[in-house]
C-alpha cells in the first residue's frame, strides 16, 4: 500500500513544472514560509503563493484520481 501511494505521489509530482516543484519542496518538505521561498528563488511572494496554489491543486486532483488532463497545473500568465 505505501509503495503504491509513493508511486502515485511521484507520478503526480512529475506533472508539476520545475518552478512548482521547487516551491512545493521548500514549503512542504523543508518548511520554509512563503516569504523565505520568494527570497530564496528571487521571485515575488505572490508568485511563490501562486506556484504553491496551482501545484497543490494539481497534486490533489491527480491523487484523488480525477483523471482530467490538467491545464491547471500550469501557472496562469500574470
pTM assigned to the model: 0.76
- Predicted confidence at residue 69, as pLDDT, reads 43
- Predicted confidence at residue 1, as pLDDT, reads 63
- Burial string for 12-42 (b: 16+ CB within 10 Å, else e) reads bbebbeebbebbbebbeeeebebeebbeebe
Residue 4 to residue 52: CA distance in whole angstroms:
24
pLDDT in tens for each of the 78 residues of the chain? 688 888 888 999 999 999 999 999 999 999 999 999 999 999 999 999 999 999 999 999 998 885 544 444 454 444
- Predicted confidence at residue 36, as pLDDT, reads 98
- Predicted confidence at residue 2, as pLDDT, reads 84
Amino acid at each position: 500500500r505505501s509503495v503504491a501511494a509513493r508511486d502515485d505521489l511521484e507520478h503526480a509530482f512529475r506533472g508539476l513544472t520545475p518552478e512548482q516543484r521547487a516551491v512545493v519542496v521548500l514549503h512542504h518538505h523543508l518548511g520554509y514560509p512563503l516569504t523565505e521561498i520568494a527570497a530564496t528563488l528571487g521571485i515575488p511572494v505572490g508568485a511563490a503563493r501562486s506556484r504553491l496554489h496551482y501545484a497543490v491543486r494539481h497534486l490533489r486532483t491527480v491523487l484523488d484520481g480525477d483523471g482530467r488532463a490538467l491545464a491547471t497545473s500550469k501557472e496562469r500568465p500574470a
